Structure 1
Amino acid sequence: MSPQEVKQQNLVAIYQALLQLMTQKPMAAISVTELCQAAKVSRSYFYRHYTTFDQIILAYQEQNMLHYLRQLPNQSQVSLADLMTHYFELTQTEVATTRLLIKNGKLDVLVQTFQTVFKLLIKQNRVSNPRGMHIFEEPYYYEFFSGAVVNVAVNWVQRDMPEPPKYLGQQIDHLAKYH
């Protein structure tokens, strides 16, 4: 196994172990030793790669979202509505995890994950914006947009996802046009 495959395997193991432990008790009550034992990784592995449990969640969530988005149509740009539809589909697929993270007060990690991936897609010029790219240069735009989208997703999940992801994707696209 390559070093990259080992790293990926360890990330998945420690992330899944953290989620499992979070179903049993609050994240604040989980020790590094307990997490490492559950994940079957060494404490030195943990301290070499992470300083907080949030970093584990962020690393896995970013990787998972990027993997999912690689399945987007292989065109140079994707509309905001399509991109947001895919985000809500992923949220729907990962609803149990999303609920667990919300329950443990990890809304900030969800926002940070979204913001990081969205910035990367903008940097790669993957998101079409009919109003031009200048909006992405506005101060606090990423923070505003990321917080808004994740808050919509959290509310949607807490209401048991009554609308389909495509509807929410279209709504975000519609609302984004008023910025």
Structure 2
Amino acid sequence: MGSYEKPVEEGPLPLLLPSDLDSTGRRITQTPTRFASATPATERAQLHPGDVLLPAKGGRYAATLVTDELAGYVASSGFFVLRPNPEVVPAYLAAYLNHPQTQRRLQGITNASTTVPVLNKAALLATTIDLPPLSIQHSLASLHQLWLHEQQLTERLLQQKALLYQQAFQDAIHAATGSFLTA
């Protein structure tokens, strides 16, 4: 689990909250909004490249591979911090956890007695992870990273197309009427 330390406005260590990541595990905020004091508990929850973050509660448990960008942050108690051993490729573990089949399994091991679904830690620890040979893990991790990159490119393309559509619409009305609705 991440650190249970209370967040502070300023401090030596940036704190990562579940709200800092979107539903796919990508970072939303570019600068830390909360900080943590340096204690043994925060040191244990400090992130290193290759760690995998898994939200502890909510409806979607998007795993996030910790890269250099998140290294040094302290994970809040809203996360499980997974530190794979050398037999597991971290990017493969994140991809495996984000696969729809695994997401369904994770949703099945929540404590439903609470208002917000919470992953059961004991059940999570007992969850088996399929581990093919390292070479296949690397290949699947690379495939997943390519797919994530393609998603980002598609999102940017759609945003650009929306702007082009809006401009074409505005230009056509302006050409026909000499004006356009203004706010």
Answer whether TM exceeds 0.5 for this pair.
no
Q: What TM-score, normalized to structure 1?
A: 0.33
Structure 1 or 2, whichever has the larger Rg, is: 2
More helix by share: 1
More strand by share: 2
Higher relative contact order (CA 8 A, sep 6+): 1
Q: What TM-score, normalized to structure 2?
A: 0.33
